[in-house]
A and B are shown apart, each in its own frame.
Chain A
Amino acid sequence: MAFTDFERRWIVAIMSAFTTPEGELTVADGEADYVYAAEVMAAGSRLKARVGLRVAVWVVALAPAWALGRAQTLDELPAAGRTELIARLLDHRAYLVRGLATLLKLTATLAMMRSPAVRARSGYDRAADARSPSTRRALPLVTSQGVMT
């Protein structure tokens, strides 16, 4: 179930809109391969989930129409407007909308963190010895053999 050209365009527009150029952790154009992540997700999922992913793309891409009453698709909105709308969908009162937007957010982060540069900027792998001494202090430890220190 390959995505069409316009679905691919929508995928990039949606997933790149989770971040903005003004934010602290930015993702440069081409740094994250959102279409690849969506295709891997779709290829590895069973039919119902594959359909769900495609529905998610359509629901979010057409959100300007059904959520804002504008005859536009998401990729036709200005960048800030896309991000704002997506943030609204993530908190939407309807479980279906919220769930579909969250599925796309997870797919976006799967693509983003595949990039070593983006992952490095997230700080997740910052060296262990930079950790605060207070979190590394030895605590009394309760084990099946009793209390150790």
Chain B
Amino acid sequence: MSDLEDEADFVIVGTGAGGATAARVLSAAGHSVVMLEEGARLVTADRPRDLLGAMAQAFRDMGTNATEGASPLPLLQARCVGGATAINSGIIWRLPDEVRREWSERRGLGELVDERGLSEAFDAIEGELEITDTAPSLWGGNATLMARGAEALGLVGKAIARNASRCKGSAQCLQGCPGEARQSMDVSYVPRAIRQGARLHARARVDRVRFDGGRATGVEGAVLDAERRVVGALRVRARRAVIVAASAVQSPVILWRSGLRGPVGETFMAHPGCAVVGRFDEPVGMGFGATQAYEVPLRERRMKLESISLPPEMIAARLPGAGPAWQERLAHLDHVAQWAVQVRMEAVGRVRPAWFGRGGEASVRYAPTRADMMRVREGVATLCRMMFAAGAREVYPGIAGVRSVLRDPSEVALVEAREHPQSHYSMMASHLFASCPAGADPATSAVGPDLAVHGVNGLYVMDSSALPTNLGVNPQHSIMGVTWRAAERLAQRTESAATRCVGAVRETAASVPLSSRTGAA
């Protein structure tokens, strides 16, 4: 056995956009910080370039997690230092102002998402993570054709802003940027926090938070080996606070396993989407250029269209059929383009610990509404039209029950001819939110305006689960910005409280005894 015991002012569970940002801010303020990450710390040079190896190393459960029910929706999550930022395309969007205002006015988060304060946090992050619009020289054929299609249909698109100013266009974000140009958390805020004195324990799975007299005092869980077998017990003591930042699926599970109830896990939201593939006479070269470089935001229609270059394994599986027709298409993967639609769905789901699971294993119930599926259909139809407008010879809409190969723009009407259930699409969701939503009212929110769990001292949630709603844009920058604000204010409060010698943990009027809100004794 190799048990792990440690102690710090702040114990942070998770090293994705939220956890790493909290570590960066709190360690810079002079606090001792321990970061705990269930996955491994990956060395860029050792990350496999084939998708099977990449998935085995960095994806949670090989990407096979899905929602419950008759039509499971795959939930793509990472499990490694850096979290999802280590496998995503580094897309940067500031929190849309209408969403910020809604959170401020309807959720009582005015101070947390104060316009000026949040803008300063975004400025700081954008400077540190080298945010730039993707230069045209890095668009590659996939994004360039998408721009052509959008232009032809009169849609307003733009270059995607990313945290990768030194991008060389290798189209390997999913496998880990080979040149470490993408400033994912594993190559930016995690090492920065370590330089500032923080400690990182990878393969350290947190199962629950420990309490003492209504105050979070640490976490316990398991130490894992490379095969994810338990090789020891984990106990880390928090002198000031525990910050849970394990994702919108795993954070509520950890809180549940810790005995917390109420709104925890009750309001899970997402941006599910699906992709359309097209074949062009001219070479596309999806393997060259930024993984994602061009987007068409359609916020009023609650959707966003994006170019997305994926590894050949995924594209091959997405091409229709089997046998000679499939093999003929497979032999021309350099002529294939892929674009996706992500929908800001109105559906609200629920997250619970899995019955027989351990650690963060979860059961997620989530069903898109009819209106959500209408938007998916609208998005797919729009992408099909864009493909033809850009010059596609064949378009593969990927909807069961609809002709698998469209050869003429008029055939897009087949997509729109009737409603298609979720099970007819090849959908997935990677933007997950709101399972521990922030708000002033403890009846409808799990954490307060400072992201402290209602009714518990010394326990915070700082990741996408604390965002009160989904956003309609890629979330990592909003997660970082909101976390930056919350962590900065926590550092200030902790400092002033320590100065006054009245203890290190906040006490608010909203605080109530832990036993009244938890199943824990």
A residues within 8 Å of B by Cβ? Answer: 17-20, 22-26, 37, 40-41, 43-47, 49, 52, 83-84, 86-87, 90-91, 93, 95, 98-99, 102, 105-106, 108-114, 119, 121-126, 128, 130-132, 134-145, 148
- A selection of 6 A-B contacts at a CB cut-off of 8 Å is A18-B322, A18-B326, A44-B64, A46-B361, A109-B317, A142-B156
Q: Does B317 contact A45, Cβ atoms closer than 8 Å? A: no
Q: Does B283 contact A49, Cβ atoms closer than 8 Å? A: no
Q: Does A25 contact B327, Cβ atoms closer than 8 Å? A: yes
- Of A40, A93, A124, the residue contacting B312 (CB under 8 A) is A124
Q: Does B331 contact A24, Cβ atoms closer than 8 Å? A: yes
Within 8 Å CB of A20, what residues of B? 323-324, 327
Within 8 Å CB of A128, what residues of B? 285, 288
Within 8 Å CB of B53, what residues of A? 114
Q: Does B326 contact A46, Cβ atoms closer than 8 Å? A: no
Which single residue of chain B is at the shortest CB-CB distance from A92?
B400
CA distance A37 to B56 in the complex (A): 10
Distance between B184 CB and nearest chain A CB, rounded to angstroms: 21
Within 8 Å CB of A119, what residues of B? 312
Within 8 Å CB of A141, what residues of B? 136, 147, 158-159
Asked if B419 is an interface residue, CB under 8 A from chain A, the answer is: no
Distance between B476 CB and nearest chain A CB, rounded to angstroms: 17
Asked if B371 is an interface residue, CB under 8 A from chain A, the answer is: no
Q: Does A135 contact B316, Cβ atoms closer than 8 Å? A: no
Q: Does B151 contact A139, Cβ atoms closer than 8 Å? A: yes
CA distance A93 to B286 in the complex (A): 32
CA distance A138 to B148 in the complex (A): 11
Please encode chain B, from 57 to 86, with 1 for each CB lying within 8 Å of some chain A CB and 0 for all others. 001011011100011100000000000000
Which single residue of chain A is at the shortest CB-CB distance from B61?
A46
Asked if B311 is an interface residue, CB under 8 A from chain A, the answer is: yes
Whether A114 contacts B62 in the complex (CB less than 8 A), given A40-B56, A124-B287, A144-B158, comes out as no
Q: Does A121 contact B331, Cβ atoms closer than 8 Å? A: yes
Q: Does A122 contact B312, Cβ atoms closer than 8 Å? A: yes
Within 8 Å CB of A98, what residues of B? 400
Q: Does A144 contact B161, Cβ atoms closer than 8 Å? A: yes
Task: Given A109-B312, A111-B52, A142-B157, output 9 extra A-B contacts at Cβ < 8 Å.
Answer: A19-B322, A40-B56, A41-B64, A45-B64, A90-B321, A99-B72, A123-B333, A124-B334, A126-B285
Whether A45 contacts B62 in the complex (CB less than 8 A), given A37-B52, A113-B311, A114-B50, comes out as yes
Please encode chain B, from 391 to 435, with 1 for each CB lying within 8 Å of some chain A CB and 0 for all others. 000000000110010000000000000000001101000000000
Asked if B461 is an interface residue, CB under 8 A from chain A, the answer is: no
Asked if B330 is an interface residue, CB under 8 A from chain A, the answer is: yes
CA distance A30 to B314 in the complex (A): 21
Within 8 Å CB of A105, what residues of B? 317, 322
Which single residue of chain B is at the shortest CB-CB distance from A87?
B322
CA distance A66 to B209 in the complex (A): 50
Within 8 Å CB of B62, what residues of A? 40-41, 44-45, 49
CA distance A25 to B336 in the complex (A): 15
Q: Which of A37, A110, A121 has the most CB of B within 10 A?
A: A110
Please encode chain B, from 125 to 168, with 1 for each CB lying within 8 Å of some chain A CB and 0 for all others. 00000000100100001001101100100001111010000000
Q: Does B356 contact A109, Cβ atoms closer than 8 Å? A: no
Within 8 Å CB of B141, what residues of A? 131-132, 135-136
Q: Does B327 contact A19, Cβ atoms closer than 8 Å? A: yes
Q: Does B330 contact A122, Cβ atoms closer than 8 Å? A: yes
Within 8 Å CB of B65, what residues of A? 46, 49
Which single residue of chain A is at the shortest CB-CB distance from B157?
A142
Q: Which 3 A-B pairs have the closest CB atoms?
A: A23-B327, A49-B64, A132-B282
Distance between A120 CB and nearest chain B CB, rounded to angstroms: 10
Which single residue of chain A is at the shortest CB-CB distance from B423?
A95
- Of B311, B324, B357, the residue contacting A22 (CB under 8 A) is B324
- Of A44, A91, A135, the residue contacting B400 (CB under 8 A) is A91
Distance between A89 CB and nearest chain B CB, rounded to angstroms: 9
Q: Which of B151, B322, B424 has the most CB of A within 10 A?
A: B322
Asked if B55 is an interface residue, CB under 8 A from chain A, the answer is: yes
Within 8 Å CB of B151, what residues of A? 139-140
Whether A26 contacts B327 in the complex (CB less than 8 A), given A40-B56, A135-B284, comes out as yes
Q: Does A18 contact B323, Cβ atoms closer than 8 Å? A: yes
Which single residue of chain B is at the shortest CB-CB distance from A33?
B52
Q: Does B51 contact A125, Cβ atoms closer than 8 Å? A: no
Q: Does A44 contact B61, Cβ atoms closer than 8 Å? A: yes
Q: Does A124 contact B331, Cβ atoms closer than 8 Å? A: no
Within 8 Å CB of B315, what residues of A? 124
Asked if B46 is an interface residue, CB under 8 A from chain A, the answer is: no
CA distance A39 to B316 in the complex (A): 20
Asked if B5 is an interface residue, CB under 8 A from chain A, the answer is: no
Distance between B299 CB and nearest chain A CB, rounded to angstroms: 15
CA distance A134 to B284 in the complex (A): 10
CA distance A134 to B356 in the complex (A): 55
CA distance A85 to B225 in the complex (A): 42
Distance between B225 CB and nearest chain A CB, rounded to angstroms: 14
Q: Does A106 contact B64, Cβ atoms closer than 8 Å? A: no
Which single residue of chain A is at the shortest CB-CB distance from B286?
A124
CA distance A45 to B61 in the complex (A): 4
CA distance A92 to B328 in the complex (A): 22
Within 8 Å CB of A24, what residues of B? 324, 327-328, 330-331
Please encode chain B, from 346 to 375, with 1 for each CB lying within 8 Å of some chain A CB and 0 for all others. 000000001011000100000000000000
Within 8 Å CB of A136, what residues of B? 141, 144
Within 8 Å CB of B326, what residues of A? 18-19, 23
Asked if B98 is an interface residue, CB under 8 A from chain A, the answer is: no
Q: Does A95 contact B64, Cβ atoms closer than 8 Å? A: no
Distance between B404 CB and nearest chain A CB, rounded to angstroms: 7
Within 8 Å CB of A135, what residues of B? 141, 144-145, 282-285
CA distance A125 to B324 in the complex (A): 22
Distance between B474 CB and nearest chain A CB, rounded to angstroms: 15
Distance between B459 CB and nearest chain A CB, rounded to angstroms: 27
Within 8 Å CB of B321, what residues of A? 87, 90
Within 8 Å CB of B158, what residues of A? 141-144
Q: Does A124 contact B328, Cβ atoms closer than 8 Å? A: no
Within 8 Å CB of B100, what residues of A? none
